[in-house]
A and B are shown apart, each in its own frame.
Chain A
């Protein structure tokens, strides 16, 4: 699985959009980008994933650059409950490769 690089920490004002970047310059053509988050004292929670097109769900939007070497997770209206560590993971999505390799992620703090 390709390696990812994320800033160790970020702050965002409550109510503003939080934009979390992830660099995955060695991504291969069949690797997906996944985002999970981990709120303090809880297990990680799936947020969103994508291959090449931008994706949106009820939690967030995922913007993947055209060359797929980087992506941005967007939380459109951040709340205090979004304070968490956010993990960007790149992996092939197929049977037999079920492992998720978590890095150290970005610690996002939402400021009141």
Chain B
């Protein structure tokens, strides 16, 4: 089975801190995604990557950056955390070609105080 892991389930950070959220997948998938999930808004795509060192902005990239130095790892970076970035962050991966499903990690609940 595909496994997508995220570095933390719960994280508490202070306003202004630099925050790193890490995601690792073990199925050699080309595509990786970062979403945030907020009540009443569903899941919204922040960034995705379709190859090492490649990235594309999603619907809400402001305040975030990403890094993909290795195929299995996709990092989400909050350069200067703000309270409106308190959310559930979900990472997903997906293969190419006939693979149609995205595999999600368990999520990181980030609280910025």
Contacts and interface: CB of A to CB of B under 8 A. Distances in A.
A43 interface: yes
Contact of A44 (B41, B45, B58, B104): B104
Contact of A98 (B35, B50, B103, B104): B50
Contact of B101 (A41, A43, A46, A101): A46
Nearest to B41: A104
Contacts of A99: 33, 45, 48, 58
Contacts of A87: 42
A43 B42 contact: no
Nearest to A93: B100
A49 interface: yes
Interface in A71-111: 87, 93, 95-96, 98-105
Contacts, number: 53
Interface in A16-48: 32, 34, 41-46
Interface stretch (B11-19, B72-80, B88-96): B88-96
B66 interface: no
Interface residues of B, number: 26
Contact of B104 (A41, A45, A95): A45
A46 B103 contact: yes
B102 interface: yes
Interface in B28-47: 31, 33, 35, 40-45
A43 B40 contact: no
A81 B93 CA distance: 24
23 contacts: A32-B100, A34-B100, A41-B107, A42-B104, A43-B4, A43-B104, A43-B105, A44-B43, A44-B102, A44-B104, A46-B103, A49-B100, A87-B42, A98-B94, A99-B33, A99-B45, A99-B58, A100-B45, A100-B102, A102-B42, A104-B41, A104-B42, A105-B42
Interface of B: 4, 31, 33, 35, 40-45, 48, 50, 58, 90-92, 94, 96, 100-107
Across the A-B interface, the 8 shortest Cβ-Cβ residue pairs: A43-B104, A46-B101, A102-B43, A102-B42, A44-B104, A104-B42, A98-B31, A43-B90
